[in-house]
Amino acid sequence: MENRISLESSLWNPWHGCHKLSTGCRHCYVYRGDSKHGKDSSIITKTGQFNLPVRRKKDKTYKIPSGNLVYTCFTSDFLIEEADEWRIEAWKMMRERYDLHFLFITKRIDRLSQCLPPDWGDGYDNVTICCTMENQERVDYRLPLYKAAPVKHKIIICEPLLSAINFKGELGIWVEQIVVGGESGKEARICNYDWVLDIRRQCIENNISFWFKQTGYRLL
């Protein structure tokens, strides 16, 4: 993942809107942003960007250049139920654009098996699926599912970090990186720096890349 961070990046939001699912969703940045414009974030809609990866310019070249890292579905959850009918086409575009690397974050890793395309196998080489685990409760539930999932590139997202986390010896070469960050916004809950340091320790012990992305609004 460290090598991919240096790539040029693009943003692709094929659909918009989400349902709050767990504790980490309480102060969702999408909800905050939509509320400023009077939009209801709980309504999931297909966006005008839906076919962005395969759009071409007048000279017939792709609008998203080859080699880009494409941050995917950052105003929704790629695995949300309402997008089931659209996701098949999204997977096809990812497969067509094998020259790009797609990355999305999900809190719905328990839906992955019913959302994969028929030719997925053990994963597409050009897709990273990140799983959010914001506290110990979510680690206990999501980590076993995520570890067992047929995904070639895996990143754990502990953001917003809401408690101390013990991965209980389950880390290893199957995860490429752990990203940690405090909660943003004026209503943010406290992020304790000791929690951050302990996750860093666990990463070092398991030779896993660690990224402390942001302190958040309330770092203790």
- CA dist 174 and 126 (Å) reads 16
**Mind listing the pLDDT tens digit for each residue in 68-77?**
999 999 999 9
Q: Is residue 79 part of a domain?
A: yes
Q: Is residue 193 part of a domain?
A: yes
Give the model's pLDDT for residue 81.
98
Number of domains composing the chain: 1
Q: Is 219 a member of any domain?
A: no
- Domain span at residue 164 reads 2-214
Per-residue pLDDT tens digits for 15-41: 999 999 999 999 999 999 999 999 999
Q: Where are the beta strands (DSSP E) in 77-167?
A: 101-106, 127-132, 153-158
Distances (CA, A) of 134 to 14, 47, 93, 201: 25, 28, 30, 17
Query: Of all helices (H) and strands (E), which one includes residue 181?
Result: strand 177-181
Output the tens digit of pLDDT for each of the chain's 220 residues.
444 445 799 999 999 999 999 999 999 999 999 999 999 999 999 999 999 999 999 999 999 999 999 999 999 999 999 999 999 999 999 999 999 999 999 999 999 999 999 999 999 999 999 999 999 999 999 999 999 999 999 999 999 999 999 999 999 999 999 999 999 999 999 999 999 999 999 999 999 999 999 999 999 9
